Structure 1
Amino acid sequence: MALSTTNLADKLAETHGLAKADARKVIDAVFADITAAVAAGEEVSINNFGKFKLKETPERQGRNPSNGEAITIAAQRKLTFAPGKQTRDRMNGN
C-alpha cells in the first residue's frame, strides 16, 4: 500500500492531536517549500532522513525503439533523493 498525503495527514493529525485539515495544510506547505527550493537549485537536507537535489542531465543521442531511428533526447533536470544514514539503516532492518 502506498502512503498518500491524505494518509500521512491522518497519521500526523492522530499522533499530534491536530485537525486533519490543519495537518494536511502543514504537509502541503512542507512539500511546496521543498519543491520550490529544489527547483531554485538548492539542496534540501532533512536531518535523519535524507537530501533532495536536482541532477542536470545533458542532451544526448538515443534510438527510437519502434524503428531504430536516431533521436536527440533533450537535456533534463531530475529530482534525486539520497537517504541519510538513519533512513538507510531503518530500510535495511538495522
Structure 2
Amino acid sequence: MARDGKTLTRAQIAKAISRNTPITVVQAYAFADAILEHMACALERGENVKISRFGTFVQREKGRRLARNPNTGEKAVVTARRVVTFNPSDFLRQRVAGPID
C-alpha cells in the first residue's frame, strides 16, 4: 500500500484502459482480467513473468525452517513453499525514486 493509503485497483486499471482506448469499460475489465489470469497461470506453471520496462515476478523456493511466534515465544516449523517476489526494472526504479517527505 502506498504511503498515503491509496492503492491502484483492478477496476481503476480497467477504467484507465477504457478512457485511453476505443473499448468499453466492460471490455476493458475483460482485457485486464485476461492479462492477470495469463500471468497467474504462468506463475502456477513455475515460470517467471517479465514485463519490459516494469519488472519481473520471480519465483523462489523457501526451505523448511524453525521460527518463533513473537507474541508467545513458542517455536514452530514453517513448511517449505514457493513464493513470488517482484524485482522492478531499472526504468521503474528510477521513475519511483524520489524524495520522501
Using structure 1 for the length normalisation, give the TM-score: 0.91
Q: Which residue of 1 aligns with 2:60?
A: 55
Distance 1:84 1:31 in 2: 19
Q: For residue 21 of structure 1, give the secondary structure of its aligned residue in structure 2.
A: helix
Select the residue among 11, 16, 19 that pairs with 2:16: 11
1:44 to partner: Cα distance: 1.1
Alpha-carbon deviation of 1:54?
1.1
How many corresponding residue pairs?
93
- Write the deviation string for residues 17-59 of structure 1: whole angstroms up to 9, x where unpaired: 2100100101101011111101111111111111012111101
Q: Which residue of the partner structure matches residue 27 of structure 2?
A: 22
Q: Which residue of 1 aligns with 2:89?
A: 84
Gaps of 5+ in 1: none
CA contact (8 A) 1:55 1:79 kept: yes
What RMSD, in angstroms, separates the aligned Cα atoms of the two structures? 1.2
Query: Corresponding residue for 2:3?
Result: none
Equivalent pair of 1:41/1:53 in contact (CA under 8 Å): no
What aligned pairs does 1:36-55 form with structure 2 within 5 A after superposition? 36-55=41-60
DSSP 3-state at the match of 1:3: coil
1:5/1:27 contact within 8 Å kept: yes
- Structure 1 segments of 4 or more deviating over 3 A? none
